[in-house]
Structure 1
Amino acid sequence: MSPYDAPAVYANPPALIDGYGRNVTYLRLSVTDRCDLRCVYCMAEHMVFLPKAEVLSLEELERVASAFVALGVRKLRITGGEPLVRKGLMSLMGELSRHLRSGALDELTLTTNGTRLTELADELARVGVKRINVSLDTLKPELFRRLTRGGDIAKVLTGIDAAQAAGLAVKINAVALKNDNAAELPELVAWAHGRGLDMTLIETMPMGEVDEDRTDQFLSLADVRRDFESFWTLTDIPLTTGGPARYVRVEETGGRLGFITPLTHNFCDLCNRVRLTCTGTLHTCLGQDDATDLRAVMRAGADDAGLIDAIRQGIDGKPKGHDFHIGRGEAPAVARHMSTTGG
């Protein structure tokens, strides 16, 4: 039995509607700020990670996620850091999977760097995960090692094999980096499509202080798309997976390609998502510093109704949109790192 059982009064709760009329149906839940890689655009080389006492317990994570499901969230994505390094994660996934069986949740999924998929892909499939996102910015071993500060690409590729063998649909996410993988992006897309994998490209986002100036690495995906259209036929398709990507079909490969463009073309008008950090902080906008401390609410002894009220108050304050911009020497748009926010 779950630690969280919604009171009968919330059996058919009003939808989570923000102040701009957007229905929030998608929660990205970070289970840890820790990662076994140190990607250069994501975190500083010598990150100081959170003490255990500040991180939500598995029971707290389950309780708050279930509260969101009770309030109409239909898609739950587990993130980090790297979620698969969190001890006890599969136990949490097993608890959350009951919402799939009840029909309250449409999808339970996660984003991973792929390094532990060889060990855990079968377990993920067994608890009802149907598809996952794997972050992979290059196929070149040396470049991968440099971008991740020591990572082994062979572990990721073997993990992708294991995920596909377990029956998981895999989508590859790649951050477009002007000085590193720009020329390789067509090869990366063709490789993914050749394996039956969807692919999404992402503009680098100004979040948290890292050890380089992101201005030097920013690559507009509008420019990337124009480049692709010089040798591929890209057909816009109305696919939506609940996230911010806009998709095309690459006619020559037969595969799907998404573009996530927080700087060159924002996607705020249809935003249906919120993020909860591993410390229990609710962020309703990736590019704003809004925050609701749900950990404090739970640890102060709030009952289920109190937790749900706090969630609603946080959603009510969801901003109209983000204001990401990137400029040489400028501080990041938000101080928190993506690894802390939840990918």
Structure 2
Amino acid sequence: MLTDAHHRIIDYVRLSVTDRCNLRCTYCMPENMRFVKSDALLTDAEIISLLQTLASAGISKVRITGGEPFMRPGLINLLSAIKAIPGITQLAITTNGVLTRDYIPALQQLGITDINLSLDTLQPARFLQITRRNQFDAVMQTLHSLLAHQMKVKINVVVMEDVNTDELVHFTSLTRDHALSVRFIEEMPFNGQGHTFSGIAWNYRTILDAIRETYPLHKLPDPPHATALLYSIPGHQGNIGVIPAYSRTFCGTCNRLRISATGSIKTCLYGADTINVKDLLRSGAPLLPALQQVLHHRAANGFEAEKQHPRIPESMSVIGG
């Protein structure tokens, strides 16, 4: 088993399969984003080899991220190959939903039912303002299709002051008639703009207080390693959660690694890149000893990691979500 410097077992990998995206969300990437060339990305064969090695060391859950994963050619074939790796028991996807609808039957056939849908507004005009693309209808069609196919849907909502805080109750209302989860996420500094991030006014406490003005919230037990604080509402089929992504209250139980589309490893979202697994794979160097070495120097939490790497100009699409 892979373990870090604080005796935490690492069994979860978030793997970006592309840095490309068909949206330009203001909190995620600049309009003039420069994407890497295709030969700089991990190939399908390298991804499979990498995950086979990681599975042999106890990695059992993989979440596919981007950029937008469905912009990678041949994604369904790659997902099928990942599903076949012994030891990988959970395979999930985070998507913006623009291209996803046509792939839902194939995902269901593969047994991939855990889908996180990034959606920060329920208003078409505001969607255009946030994403700088006119794709609201496509995303909503994906959401309705996911629900019709009885997929396990989580809607990820980044809460932004003076942008969408007036929609917290509207998003929460979706859980009344649908067995989905709405996750409200604190805004983070990874917008690719390169400017200083001064913090947030809408933290997880503020978000919960605003929702409580309309709905009674009952705390649910948090699963092991959970990043979200979960709540139910009487009479609602679904639930809500708040993710203290900037407050970082969940760091003590972190069990994950992040791997970028080019193979860079982050042992913490707020930390620097460590080793590059693509380079190790292409050189034939042993992977697990190098990975265990960087884990032995892993920061205890996001605040410590940020002190070690104080300025983070990356786009979230490059980090991998």
For residues 44-73 of structure 1, give each alpha carbon's deviation from its aligned partner in whole angstroms, at most 9, with x where no partner exists.
111001111211111111111221111111
1:84 corresponds, among 70, 75, 80, to 70
Aligned length: 319
For residues 318-341 of structure 1, give each alpha carbon's deviation from its aligned partner in whole angstroms, at most 9, with x where no partner exists.
211112999xxxx98422221001
CA distance in structure 2 between the aligned counterparts of 1:189 and 1:76, rounded to whole angstroms: 28
| Residue of structure 2 equivalent to 1:72 | 58
1:164 corresponds, among 147, 153, 162, to 147
For residues 204-227 of structure 1, give each alpha carbon's deviation from its aligned partner in whole angstroms, at most 9, with x where no partner exists.
111243288755975222111112
Q: Secondary structure at the match of 1:292?
A: coil
Q: TM-score, normalised by structure 2?
A: 0.93
CA distance in structure 1 between the aligned counterparts of 2:191 and 2:275, rounded to whole angstroms: 19
1:313 corresponds, among 259, 278, 293, to 293
Q: Secondary structure at the match of 1:240?
A: coil
Query: Structure 1 stretches (4+) deviating beyond 4 angstroms?
Result: 211-218
1:127 corresponds, among 110, 115, 124, to 110
| Residue of structure 2 equivalent to 1:223 | 206
For residues 175-206 of structure 1, give each alpha carbon's deviation from its aligned partner in whole angstroms, at most 9, with x where no partner exists.
00111110111101212443221110101111
Q: Secondary structure at the match of 1:323?
A: helix
Q: Give the drift of 1:258.
A: 1.0
Within 5 Å, give how 1:17-166 maps onto structure 2. Answer: 17-99=3-85, 102=86, 104-166=87-149
| Residue of structure 2 equivalent to 1:323 | 303
| Residue of structure 2 equivalent to 1:10 | none
| Pair 238,211 (structure 1): closer, same or farther in 2 beyond 3 Å | same
CA distance in structure 2 between the aligned counterparts of 1:35 and 1:192, rounded to whole angstroms: 28
User: Does the CA contact (< 8 Å) of 2:217 and 2:232 recur in 1?
Assistant: yes
User: Does the CA contact (< 8 Å) of 1:29 and 1:275 recur in 2?
Assistant: yes
CA distance in structure 2 between the aligned counterparts of 1:237 and 1:188, rounded to whole angstroms: 19
Within 5 Å, give how 1:227-266 maps onto structure 2. Answer: 227-240=210-223, 242-266=225-249
| Residue of structure 1 equivalent to 2:320 | 342
For the aligned residue pairs, the C-alpha RMSD in angstroms reads 2.3
CA distance in structure 1 between the aligned counterparts of 2:110 and 2:2, rounded to whole angstroms: 27
5+ residue gaps, structure 2, are none
Q: Secondary structure at the match of 1:111?
A: strand
CA distance in structure 2 between the aligned counterparts of 1:93 and 1:333, rounded to whole angstroms: 34
| Pair 291,151 (structure 1): closer, same or farther in 2 beyond 3 Å | farther
User: Does the CA contact (< 8 Å) of 2:95 and 2:117 recur in 1?
Assistant: yes
5+ residue gaps, structure 1, are 1-14
